Amino acid sequence: MKNNTINIKGLIFDLDGVIVDTAKYHYLAWKRLAQEMGFHFSEEDNEQLKGVSRTRSLEILLSIGNIKKSEKEMEELAARKNKWYVEYIVKLEPKEILPGVEKFLNELKELRIKTALGSASKNAPLIIKRLNLENYFDVILDGSLVKKPKPNAEVFLKCARGLELKPEECIVFEDAQAGIDAAKNGNMYCVGVGSPENLKGADYIVSGFLGVTLESLIEHIVRGKGK
């Protein structure tokens, strides 16, 4: 889709906080792990874990509790946390898709815009299946297919390659600062989903997808470039 100075051919979506809110389940699992180790893990602490890999999240959690573990122990802790998290998400239903997302995805399908999912979550394929959204994405890339966590651009660049597009032909949708930084590091446009005070450097910010159209997004991005 051409609009003045940009030519958008593909959209790349993060998962948690953009398509569905599974962050609450991550938090419950991390909080349970912290309680087992004898310290409190708050919702404020959990903000540090948004958009980062499971391994890095565990490192942050342990630093909050001032706890040191061997590599083997960390693998066991991460596996335990993931087991609890999976117990939550296997109960996910399509009704938990965030408002406006499915309508927006249908618009993209009608416009024949290529779409990809680029998530740090290794459970992304399971979640997308539970939500019945598999047919909306041309490419699904999860945390098991990338080596470098956000803010490295690897996951989004691989998505663009999978879509056979140039980075500058893509818009990334992200709810975390690390993801926004990753998109910009990959020379992509980025729409932040959430509160402006938590999302610095995005080309445009929306609170959610209700009432959002691709044309309106591109218009806002173009307008922003003209400032």
Active-site residue set:
14, 16
Contact 157, 139 (CB under 8 A): no
Q: Do 172 and 183 contact (CB within 8 A), yes or no?
A: yes
The DSSP call for residue 169 is G
Residues with Cβ within 8 Å of 33's Cβ and at least 6 positions away in sequence, in order, are 41, 61, 77, 80, 81, 84
Q: Token pair 């890339």 is at which residue?
A: 141
Residue 128 parent element (H or E)? helix 124-130
Q: Kindly report the number of other CB atoms within 10 A of residue 48's CB atom.
A: 15
SS3 content of the chain, % helix, strand, coil (to 5): 50, 15, 35
3-state secondary structure of 74: helix
Contact between 7 and 167 under an 8 Å Cβ cutoff? The reply is no
209: Cα within 13 Å, side-chain hemisphere: 21
